[in-house]
């Protein structure tokens, strides 16, 4: 069952966020340069890190899909990228709000971190239209996996390229130049854990919903028969094999 452990995960997420927000607003000291505005970083940076990690995970899951031809791995890769896109939108919005407060304008085109993140976001924004453009489910999943692997490899390369660039206008929170005091570092780590838990919870919710929907369709097919079924509308979402259950480890797509 995809839904197994979802309740515990949800509770852990809420608890982690309660602790994280408590630390952000009542424990972490104010930044000497940015003051209260720096509190955005406890939200913005974990969002960005989790979004980028999600993209890479999506690529790793896509490798597993190409190795096994199991549609469940394609679904996992799809959901990981889908969730990361939502996190990336939140990263861009919170980053823009911080830029407005700090620099006085919403965006800076000469800032490599911002532009590179936007490039990654726009790259992944083409993932769903790519899937939607391919009608055959088999081809759709295969091409989408190739895309997810290629784009997933691009993410760390892009990150390293930005790190190596000479412009350091964007504040560095982690790395060799970091000078975060202990209380700020602890708050940041707790926020990162909370954000990772939120990602995991939403990922599990989405997978459970998609699996339940495919099970309902399978049940309808069994009760009504193929002739009574309306044709499945064209969709960017992967098609799960009716017998694809997390309990069974056999490759559902192996017979294709």
Partner 1 sequence: MFAPVLAELPALPLHEAGKYVAGAYIVLFVLVLIYFAIMAIRLSRIERELGELLELANQEPAEEDVAPREPTLA
Kindly tell me the burial class for residue 143, based on how many C-beta atoms sit within 10 Å of its own C-beta (0-12, 13-18, 19 or more).
Answer: middle
Q: How far is the CB of 47 from partner 1 (least distance, A)?
A: 7
Among 39, 76, 204, 241, binds partner 1 (CB under 8 A): 39
Angle between helices 41-68 and 137-164 (to 10 degrees): 140
Binding mask 92-131 vs partner 1 (x if CB under 8 A, - otherwise)? -xx--xx-xx------------------------------
Can residue 89 be called a binding residue for partner 1 (CB under 8 A)?
Answer: yes
Can residue 220 be called a binding residue for partner 1 (CB under 8 A)?
Answer: yes
Can residue 43 be called a binding residue for partner 1 (CB under 8 A)?
Answer: yes
Among 11, 160, 209, 254, binds partner 1 (CB under 8 A): 209
Q: Is the dihedral of CA 198, 199, 204, 207 positive or negative?
A: positive
Report which DSSP code applies to 156.
H
Dist. CA 99–CA 15, nearest whole Å? 30
Termini Cα distance of the chain: 24
Q: DSSP assignment of 202-245, as one string? A: HHHHHHHHHHHHHHHHHHHHHHH-GGGSPPPPP-SSPPPPTT--
Among 5, 35, 181, 246, binds partner 1 (CB under 8 A): 35
Closest to 63 (Cα-Cα) out of 153, 157, 160: 153
Can residue 143 be called a binding residue for partner 1 (CB under 8 A)?
Answer: no
Among 4, 8, 11, 36, binds partner 1 (CB under 8 A): 36
Q: How far is the CB of 117 from partner 1 (least distance, A)?
A: 16
Report which DSSP code applies to 117.
H
Interface residues toward partner 1, by CB under 8 A = 25-26, 30, 34-37, 39-40, 43-44, 47, 86, 89-90, 93-94, 97-98, 100-101, 198, 202, 205, 209, 212-213, 216, 219-220, 223-224
């Amino acid at each position: 069952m995809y839904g197994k452990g979802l309740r515990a995960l949800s509770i852990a997420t809420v608890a982690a966020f309660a602790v994280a927000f408590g630390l952000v607003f009542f424990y972490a000291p104010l930044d000497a340069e940015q003051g209260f505005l720096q509190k955005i970083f406890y939200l913005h940076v974990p969002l960005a890190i989790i979004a980028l990690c999600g993209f890479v995970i999506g690529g790793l899951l896509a490798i597993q899909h190409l190795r096994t031809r199991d549609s469940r791995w394609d679904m996992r890769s799809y959901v990981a990228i889908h969730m990361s896109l939502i996190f990336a939108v939140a990263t861009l919005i919170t980053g823009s709000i911080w830029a407005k407060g700090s620099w006085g304008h919403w965006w800076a085109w000469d800032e490599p971190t911002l532009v590179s993140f936007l490039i990654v976001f726009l790259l992944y924004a083409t993932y769903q239209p790519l899937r939607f453009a391919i009608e055959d489910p088999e081809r759709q999943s295969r091409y989408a996996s190739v895309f997810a692997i290629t784009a997933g490899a691009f993410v760390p390369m892009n990150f390293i390229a930005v790190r190596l660039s000479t412009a350091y206008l964007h504040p560095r929170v982690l790395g060799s130049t970091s000078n975060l005091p202990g209380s700020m570092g602890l708050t940041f780590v707790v926020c990162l854990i909370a954000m990772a838990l939120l990602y995991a919870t939403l990922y599990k919710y989405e997978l459970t919903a998609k699996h339940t929907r495919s099970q309902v369709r399978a049940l309808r097919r069994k009760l009504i028969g193929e002739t009574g079924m309306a044709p499945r509308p064209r969709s960017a979402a992967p098609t799960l094999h009716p017998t694809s259950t997390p309990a069974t480890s056999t490759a559902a797509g192996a017979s294709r």
